[in-house]
Amino acid sequence: MRHVISVLVQDHPRVLNRITSLFARRGFNLESLAVGTTHVPGLSRISLVVSGDDHTLEQVEKQLNRLIEVLKVTDHSEPHVERELCLVKVHVAGVEERLAVKDIQEAFRARVVDVAQRSLILELTGDSKKVDSFIEALRPYGILEVMRTGAVAMSRGERTLKVREKREAV
């Protein structure tokens, strides 16, 4: 089963290294990983996607929690928002293709962020399934490059990734 996990970490050098090396040596399969800073200085937030049974997932969470710089681990089993950003450079042979690609772009509510004579770069955000379908829709025209960030996630509603009562939520 696919799980999206959020991890709050201290923003130290090598902390990402520790996390990925933990996944490698414990044989957990990491599907994607996205990292960014938060509004609290010194804290970063990681979204990662793993697949596995309950036992694997329990171990993933426990092993992550063992890392000294990990402050909080949450499995998003509850309602949550999940997004991925994707850039696709697609080949457009002529006017006909350009119009067809534009149709797809509109249908998915993507944006054109670069226009060249024989190619376009499209930008799309959405959950991973939407990104998959988008890429499939463009495939017949000749995809030149794809870049996906991997999923980022956040719980819906009041729930936040809290560390301690006193600390501000992030």
Instruction: Rule CB under 8 A: say whether 57 interacts with other proteins.
Output: no
Should residue 119 be labelled a site residue for other proteins when binding is judged by CB under 8 A?
no
Q: Which of residues 2-31 bind other proteins (CB under 8 A)?
A: 9-10, 13-14, 17-18, 21-22, 25
Residue 135, amino acid: I
Q: What is the DSSP letter of 69?
A: T
If one asks whether residue 164 binds other proteins (CB under 8 A), the answer comes out as: yes
C-alpha angle 89/153/129, rounded to 5°?
45
- Please give the Cα distance from 13 to 21 (Å, whole number): 14
User: Token match 């226009």: residue?
Assistant: 115
Residue 166 found at the interface with other proteins (CB under 8 A): no
By CB under 8 A, name the binding residues for other proteins: 9-10, 13-14, 17-18, 21-22, 25, 55, 58-59, 62-63, 65-71, 163-164, 167
